[in-house]
Structure 1
Amino acid sequence: MKKKGAIEMSIGTIVIIVLSMSMLILGLVLVKNIFGGATDLVDLNNQQIAAEIANVYGDDQKVVLYPNVNIFDVKPGKSSAFAIRIKNTIEGTAGQNALFSYEISLEGLEECELSQGDVFSWMIGESGDNIAIPSSEGHIEKILINVPEGAPLCEFKTRVNVLNKVDGTEKNYGAAQFFIKIK
């Protein structure tokens, strides 16, 4: 009689362990899909990106980077992308005639043994000029990054500076930043 109870307890323990492991794996897959999908912009169009930005940030910030992360992970040999949204918050006639430009600057490349030229050669869309945005409207720019195989695994700061030009005068409009991690 004691052996029958021991076997039933052992089988019950094994069933609980198997069910627990199944739930853990399903939970990890769910988390990976949620966070993995949020950072894959290569296949999204501008309307989808604008909807995602509105969900995350609302609609009142001048300059927004998407995805909403502090560290943007890129993998050598794989295309990645991030988006810049510039919203024209200038009121009146000045807002109707405003032109915008943006430029990406990089910091901390010395530790990576990379030059700005190296990193910019991996990017498509690293700057933009004379972007006309109607007042109270937003504009999306997608930046594609193709890190080559064999690139050093490191991390550097990426800053997007936005300027607006009204009547020929350029002024700082806003900025946003995150880190790019090659891993």
Structure 2
Amino acid sequence: MQTKQEQQFLNDFEQNQNIVHKVCRIYTSNQDAHNDLFQEITIQLWKNYSKFRGDAKFSTWMYRVALNTAISLYRKSSRSIKTQDISDVAFKIQSHDYDDTEEQQLKALYKAIHKLNDIDKALIFLYLEDKPYREISETLGISEVNARVKMNRAKDKLKKVLNP
């Protein structure tokens, strides 16, 4: 029997789990690492759900937890992720169909993004999610002006990687 809080978390998570998958795709290079990071982010979201006050949208809070978890895990020198079993919870994963050209372009973009540093990855990710600079700055804990400056630099780096 699920509590009201568990049910609310599952509903919120299910509606926004694509955020976690996208963060995992930005910060990992293979399916096993993606799965491990997805699990760790999910655990961190659940552990911190009671602290979510609703001051921001759930998705904004989710971006922040997911990005902070990914960045902190991948800054560690070992690059190994400790996971915990969450077998009691099942999540729906939707797949999207892309044509071959879109898939190749997407793979090239992700390959280029993987070459950026952690903060630049987060900035580009949020930008690609069409988040306004105000929300980007809130999510990353920096000023809006700083977010704009860092974004322009990250875009320049990405252009250089995509068009050497």
Q: TM-score, normalised by structure 1?
A: 0.20
Question: 1 or 2, which has the higher strand percentage?
Answer: 1
Q: TM-score, normalised by structure 2?
A: 0.22
